[in-house]
Each structure stands twice: as structure tokens, then as C-alpha cells.
Amino acid sequence: MFASTFLTNLQAIASNFLLILCIPSVLFYCYAIYAAISFFAAPQAVNQEFHPPVSILKPICGLDRDAYENLASFCQQNYPKYQIIFAVRNSQDPCIEVVDKIIQNFSDLDILLIVSDRVIGTNLKVSNLANAATKAKYEILVLADSDIRVGTDYLQRVIQPLQDESVGVVTCMYRSLTQGWISILEAINTTTEFHAAVLVSNIKENGIKYAFGCTIAIPKKVLEAIGGFEAIADYLADDFQLGYLPVQAGYKVVLSDYIVEHLHKSNTLIDVIKRQIRWAFCKRVSRPWGYLGLIFTYGIVTSLLLLIATNGSIIGWLGLCICWVTRLVMAWVVGTISLKDPIVKKFLWLVPGCDLLSFVIWCFGFIGNTMEWRGQQLKLTKDGKLLVPEDKNDELSIKVLTKKGA
């Protein structure tokens, strides 16, 4: 009898706890809808007279999907004066052939290819950026990952917030172009969960305090104020630090309303899970309380558990219906209406499954601190830095392949 009473009380406690978790989830979904509508309701103004010269830094490692089209999109800007610097570590990297083709096809542009194995820290992407920055001619730097594709108005729109001297960084959200079911699941999660949280943070905190690797526009003076690329060379979440450190230095980060396109590779489920766990580690060490608070955004999961805990009661079904409907509406508003993501529009019905997978990965994010990244086994410290088994920070000479345009 005692055992039966104990289990009944335990079930009641669990049901009440899950119900409490469902409520903030619904509120979050509603606030995300409001944040998305508010952000995109008034497009950011474009001053056609503001077009300072820009140096675009493109770190590259290996061949991404549609590599030529991605990189070439940065060479097709309706912008009066800019240079592009491609940086790669390995002289045998297959991406060099693609860059050589771009240099030939866009002979009127100022393009450099830097091949250097100089290392300034454990994050080799940051070393690539640092090597590229040594040849940047102009005050404004635009950093963009190699798997990003943009339109011809990209530069003109992205640099607009830098008219304000208090703005230190401009960054962008992205929508994904995918191949394969596994990549589709990952893309839906990014668009409808991650970017929803970004939009909420942007409204709630009056601007975000971090940046994304798909685009980071930053003046050299701001980069120097935080200690240059050397200051972030050992961090896994280098893009987060390029937003966070300028905020600590007194600058603002502005989220542009320009949406770039991210080309997903075709990956196995294991590859995607490893990458998602690595990103979970990034979020956990970068914003530990924010990461813990994500429990209040998993309404799909908590409402399903509530239904089970209440043995299919009316309260359980009501909680599930409210959570799932608001979640799907939020996914539609953020993904389809705001970010104009065709993947979300076509596969909205997969959102609940994506949330269940995301919740499992969120739980794994609390466990351990080792990961695999580009074939390397790495360890993540409590402050977000990367450790490798041996020190490879030897400085070697930089080889520069240059083609000067008009």
C-alpha cells in the first residue's frame, strides 16, 4: 500500500513538473513569433552612398558542396571596391584548383590566394583567418565560411550598420540548402529552433552578444581592441567570441536582416550527431545558463511526457495539442515566412521529430568534453578552449599567390 501511494504521489509530482515546463515553452513559441514578425517588419535601411572598401576573408579546408558556385557568389557583388582573400593551409588541398579557376574567371577583381601552414592556436580555421588578415588592404573585414552562398547585394546590405561608430560587429542568419534526409533534419532544427532563439535573444536583450561564422563584418580597429585573431585562436566557438569580446569592449553587435544560404554536405546520421554534439558543447561552455534554460523550449518533448505521465488524461492531451500547435506555427512563421526557408515549407511535419532528436543531443551536451573535429580528437576546457595532444604551434613562412585586379 505504501509503495502504491508513493508511486501515485511521484506520478503526480512528475505530472505537475512537466505541466510547469510546458507553460514557458508555449510562451517561448509565442514570443519567437512576435520576435520574428517584429524583426522583419521594417527592413533595415540601405544608404547607397555608404560603400567603404572591404576585404573579404575566406578560410578554406577541403571541397564543400558546390564549392565553385559558393565562392564565386562573393565575386559577383554590386559593390564598387573590395578584395577577396582565400586562405588554405595545405598546398595539396583540392580547393586550390577551384580558387585558381575563380581567379582566372574574375580577372577584374583583386583576389589573393594564401597558402600557409602557420598556426597561431588550436583552432586551425582562425589560423587561416589570421594568415589572410596579414594581406587585407582595407579597414572593414568581412569573414565568411566557405560553404556560404550570397546574392549580389550582400556586401552593400551587410555593412550598413557600420555607419554607426558604436557598432563593432555585424552578423547574419542563414537558411540551408540540403541534400538527403539527414541534412534536412539538421536544417529544420537550425532554422526553426536555433534561429528562433536568436530572434528572441535579439529582442529580449536589445541586440545579440555573439556572431555567426556565416558572416562577420568587423572593422580592424575592433578586432585589434579585442587582441586580434590571437585572442580567439584556441576557442572552438570562434564566431561566438568574435561577437562576445567586442561587446565586452563596449561595442554593439547588430543582426542583419540579410539571410545568406548555407550549403549542407550530404552526411551520415553519425556525422550529423557528432557535429550537433560538438555545437552543443560550444553552447554549453559559451552560455552555460542559457544552455540549461533550453529545457523551457522543448515543449514537444515535455508535452509528450506529460501525456504519458497522466495516462492520456484530458490535461495531458490539452497540453500536447497547445504545445504542438504553437510550435508548428512558430516554425512556420520563423522558417517559412521570415527566413523563407523552402526546406521548412516542404517538411514542416518533421519538426516534432527534429525536436525529439534535438532534446537527446541537448542531454548529451552535458556529458563529457571530448570531440572529433576534421579528423582530430580534441578536448574542450571549461572556458571553451581546445586542447590537442601535442603542440603544433610552429610558425612557418607564408606563401602568397597574388593576382591584382584593376
Where residue 70 falls among pLDDT bands split at 50, 70, 90?
Answer: very high
CB distance 144 to 84 below 8 Å: no
Comparison of pLDDT for 338 and 186, the residue scoring more? 338
Where residue 4 falls among pLDDT bands split at 50, 70, 90?
Answer: low
- pLDDT tens, position by position, 212-240: 999 999 999 999 999 999 999 988 889 99
Q: What is the pLDDT of residue 2?
A: 54
- Identify the DSSP state of 212: B
Domain boundaries, the chain: 17-40+288-380, 43-267
Strands, DSSP E only, in 78-121? Answer: 82-88, 110-115
Give the Cα separation of 297 and 160 in Å (integer). Answer: 33
**Of the ranges 101-105, 131-135, 145-149, 402-406, which one carries the lowest mean pLDDT score?**
402-406
Cell of residue 88, nine digits: 588554405
Q: Which CATH architecture has domain 43-267?
A: Alpha-Beta Complex (3.90)
**Of the ranges 10-24, 70-84, 96-110, which one carries the lowest mean pLDDT score?**
10-24
Q: What is the pLDDT of residue 405?
A: 41
pTM for this model (two decimals):
0.88
pLDDT at 397 over 70: no
Q: How large is the average pLDDT for residues 140-167?
A: 95
Comparison of pLDDT for 15 and 88, the residue scoring more? 88
Q: How far from 90 is each of 144, 161, 232, 238, 277, CA to CA, in Å?
A: 19, 36, 22, 21, 27
Q: What is the pLDDT of residue 393?
A: 44
Tell me whether residue 14 is exposed, middle or buried, using C-beta atoms within 10 angstroms of its C-beta: 0 to 12, 13 to 18, 19 or more: middle
Give the Cα separation of 146 and 125 in Å (integer). Answer: 11
**Of the ranges 178-182, 238-242, 254-258, 339-343, which one carries the lowest mean pLDDT score?**
178-182
